[in-house]
Amino acid sequence: MSSLKALIISVLLIVLIKPAFAAVCNNTQDCQDKIKEYEEKLNQARQEKTSLSSQIKLINTKVDLAQARLTKTESEIVLIKDEIEELGGKIARLNESLDHLSAVLLQKIVEGYKQRNVSFFEIMLLPQASTLANQMKYIHVAQENDRVLALRTQQVKVNFSEQKDLREEKKQELEELERQLEVQKQELNSQITQKQTLLEQTKSDEKRYQELLGQALAEFQAINRAIETGQKVGDVKKGDPIALMGNTGYPYCSTGPHLHFEVRKDGTWTNPGDYVGGGKDWQMPLPEPITITQEYGVTPWSWRYTYSGGVHTGWDMISGSSDVIRAVADGVLYSSSQNCSGAIIKIKYIDHGGGLMTFYLHVQ
């Protein structure tokens, strides 16, 4: 409906109406039931003793859960698209009705003004009193019909507006569901990749699986010991060189030269991306170009970090231009060397105050 039409209708209504008329499941419910079932299985699997078979069972359940959530979202998208299409039809019909009522209402206004141009004196000169009475009655009925028509037009206009608003809400819901679907697809692909990586790295061997778990735990314990026994180096400023990227901890706690960078707030791991990069106050620990080989969070390799609930607690990264590691922010620098499953891993860390600490592992 054009803005001009809306303006005309609004003016007419004001004139005529008194203020008093102011996959793994088949449908959404089935998917919801499956999601509940898989969540219960997931909780049970997490209680089992850590073994390769239990880890595979855990990942399989995560895959099923991710698939159920994805299918549920797909079902919701189909339903909401149908609703949007139905609303589009309603809006089109209401628009046609509004066009018709607007034209009739406008014609009634014109006729009404013509009738008002007949003077009372002319009516009094009519030859018969009954004609006068009929004329007055006709005018009254016409005015009442005009008022009813105006009311109906107002109701159609309100309904038209409400349906358009509802369609916009549904479109926003659809956009959110489509974004959610993309995230769920990534989650499903991540779980599938994690299972494949697990089988490749362990070669379906329980002993190898336990060795990898032990190495990951050893690195975690090395960091905690470093916090307790690290030697104070001194104050550093943002951008000061503090170490060189290396491969200490190899072959048990490192697979090649890289920097493992962690941020902890009040002793709890947090995503480094919340503090560095993207115009934030802290700078990156390595110079560009940087490649992050393993992100923070759930990754294809994070199954081995059982101590953190299967979350990789930092960034693994390399630089294509320099091995120099720099302080991401001002603070007090500490240094430590720790045993890591029989190899020596060298660690630097900075206390930035306010409960914030950054860790730099595998340095030379």
What proportions of the chain, in percent to the nearest 5, are helix, strand and coil?
60, 20, 25
Residue labelled with tokens 């109406």: 17
Angstrom distance (rounded) from CA 102 to CA 57: 66
CB atoms within 10 A of CB 32: 15
**In this model, does residue 160 exceed pLDDT 80?**
no
Q: How far is CA 314 from CA 244, 249, 357, in A?
A: 18, 17, 12
**In this model, does residue 16 exceed pLDDT 50?**
no
Percentage with pLDDT > 70 across the chain: 78
Most confident of 25-34, 50-59, 124-133, 173-182: 173-182
Angstrom distance (rounded) from CA 197 to CA 67: 19
The answer to whether residues 346 and 227 touch, using CB atoms and an 8 Å cutoff, is no
Query: For the domain 3-201, what is the CATH code?
Result: 1.10.287
pLDDT confidence band for 147 (50 / 70 / 90): low
**In this model, does residue 105 exceed pLDDT 50?**
yes
**In this model, does residue 21 exceed pLDDT 50?**
no
- Assign residue 61 a region (left: φ > 0; alpha: ψ between -120 and 50; beta: otherwise): alpha
For residue 84, which amino acid is it?
Answer: I
**Mean pLDDT to the nearest integer, 287-299:** 94
Percentage with pLDDT > 90 across the chain: 36
Calculate the average pLDDT of the chain.
81
**Mean pLDDT to the nearest integer, 322-337:** 97
Q: What is the pLDDT of residue 351?
A: 97
**Mean pLDDT to the nearest integer, 164-172:** 86
pLDDT confidence band for 129 (50 / 70 / 90): very low
Q: What is the pLDDT of residue 95?
A: 77
Question: Tens digits of per-residue pLDDT, 130-142?
Answer: 554 555 555 555 5
Question: Tens digits of per-residue pLDDT, 70-85?
Answer: 999 999 999 989 888 8
Residue 98, both tokens: 């509004």
pLDDT confidence band for 352 (50 / 70 / 90): very high
Q: What is the pLDDT of residue 152?
A: 72
**In this model, does residue 101 exceed pLDDT 60?**
yes
**In this model, does residue 17 exceed pLDDT 70?**
no
284 phi and psi angles, rounded to 5 deg: -70, 145
Question: Tens digits of per-residue pLDDT, 189-212?
Answer: 888 888 888 888 888 788 888 888
DSSP 118-185: S-HHHHHT-S-HHHHHHHHHHHHHHHHHHHHHHHHHHHHHHHHHHHHHHHHHHHHHHHHHHHHHHHHH
Q: How far is CA 84 from CA 47, 165, 207, 215, 322, in A?
A: 45, 11, 56, 54, 54
Angstrom distance (rounded) from CA 101 to CA 123: 31
Residue 295, both tokens: 């992100």
312 phi and psi angles, rounded to 5 deg: -75, 125
Calculate Rg over the CA atoms of the chain: 36
Nearest-5° Cα angle at 269, 43 to 350: 165
Angstrom distance (rounded) from CA 142 to CA 9: 19
**In this model, does residue 343 exceed pLDDT 70?**
yes
Q: What is the pLDDT of residue 361?
A: 96
Question: Tens digits of per-residue pLDDT, 223-268?
Answer: 999 999 999 999 999 999 999 999 999 998 998 999 999 999 999 9
Q: What is the pLDDT of residue 252?
A: 87
Q: What is the pLDDT of residue 198?
A: 84
Q: What is the pLDDT of residue 347?
A: 96
User: Strand locations in the chain, DSSP E?
Assistant: 231-236, 241-244, 259-265, 268-270, 290-294, 315-319, 324-326, 331-340, 343-353, 356-361
**In this model, does residue 93 exceed pLDDT 50?**
yes
**In this model, does residue 126 exceed pLDDT 60?**
no
**In this model, does residue 186 exceed pLDDT 50?**
yes
Q: What is the pLDDT of residue 345?
A: 96
Residue 70, both tokens: 């994805």
**In this model, does residue 43 exceed pLDDT 90?**
no
Q: Which residues pair with 324 in a beta bridge?
A: 244
Model pTM greater than 0.75? no
Angstrom distance (rounded) from CA 71 to CA 159: 34
pLDDT confidence band for 303 (50 / 70 / 90): confident
Annotated domain spans of the chain: 3-201, 209-361
